[in-house]
Structure 1
């Protein structure tokens, strides 16, 4: 039995090793990136509106994690993506999507527990009750299970084939209007 448990910034920071273990199992990043990734994740806990959920087994072992916070100017991801959306879609679209957004920074489920609805439960619970107008995220620009999940929850591609500065992988930047509503067509129009 898997249960979701919300944790605050302090417990999240104290359990960064568990977060990193799930991230590593799910994403298989190069080992030389892990120290930097852990630092970035730790810094996220200080952002306004930070919220984290662990998916845990009945004995408290985390098998999934999702967290996000209120995106705003001065945060690296927000600034990079806001500018890219402005350049490609215009200032109004960038503001509509990122002016009052929950930035979903990480969603990961250990491979041994994928395909059981844990990712869907994590994203849905993370977005539930948020006061922001939209939720935004980045995900690998490939036909992955995660990409399918986000589309089924109403996330629509805002940018595709996007490469972050200093990176090499292609990402899709996606957004959904809150509250989430599952949409079979994968669209998420702004009201």
Structure 2
């Protein structure tokens, strides 16, 4: 019989997340190497170039889940979208101007949420999500999810997210569902 391991979730600002970048990278690389993402080492490298830039934003926040042995098992991070965000420009079909309006506080962009495969099904993703969003003062949360990631899509819907469109989050990306969680 295996002993159940204790998982702790730590909230971090950008500087702390940069110091823990190896842990974030390990979780990300493992989780996104799987279908439907099939990310390569080059993809991971590009993501972590963006991560360093994102972590330098004053409003960046992250959470990292680890075992009592300090093994990283899950990550989540994001930041409020600025007034000049390109998020809405990536949608395949335009949304009303009122939905597009950003001011640096209205919408929190959930950039990544991932749990290593052997740790899934234990509520870690929900803990990461809830701790990341705890205390934000925005009206809503936005994220992109690959529609073929059925488990993630189902979890987001169960947590109250709804699909508001489809987008290609970066050049050459597969079409992703854009989901919104209303916090009001």
TM-score tier by shorter-chain length is 0.7 to 0.9
Note closer, same or farther for the CA distance 1:54–1:165 as it changes in structure 2 (3 Å cut). closer
Matches of 1:155 and 1:92 in 2, distance apart?
Answer: 18
Note closer, same or farther for the CA distance 1:97–1:70 as it changes in structure 2 (3 Å cut). closer
Matches of 1:97 and 1:134 in 2, distance apart?
Answer: 12
TM-score between both structures, scaled by the size of structure 1: 0.83
Q: Which has the higher contact order (CA 8 A, sep 6+)?
A: 2
Does 1:14 pair with 2:57?
no
Partner secondary structure for residue 141 of structure 1: coil
Partner of 1:128: 134
Partner of 1:92: 98
Matches of 2:65 and 2:59 in 1, distance apart?
Answer: 20
Partner of 2:169: 164
Identify which of 30, 41, 46 aligns with 1:36: 46
Structure 1 residue 70: deviation in Å? Answer: 1.1
Contact (CA 8 Å) 2:81, 2:103: kept in 1 or not?
Answer: no
Q: Deviations over 1:109-129 (max 9, x none)?
A: 011101111001111111121
The alignment yields a C-alpha RMSD, in angstroms, of 2.2
Query: How many correspondences in the alignment?
Result: 174
Matches of 1:22 and 1:53 in 2, distance apart?
Answer: 12
Query: What are structure 2's unaligned runs of at least 5 residues?
Result: 1-5, 34-38
Identify which of 106, 112, 124 aligns with 2:112: 106
Structure 1 residue 48: deviation in Å? Answer: 3.3
TM-score between both structures, scaled by the size of structure 2: 0.86
Query: What are structure 1's unaligned runs of at least 5 residues?
Result: 180-191
Q: Deviations over 1:93-113 (max 9, x none)?
A: 222799711111110101110
Contact (CA 8 Å) 1:49, 1:70: kept in 2 or not?
Answer: yes
Contact (CA 8 Å) 2:65, 2:74: kept in 1 or not?
Answer: yes
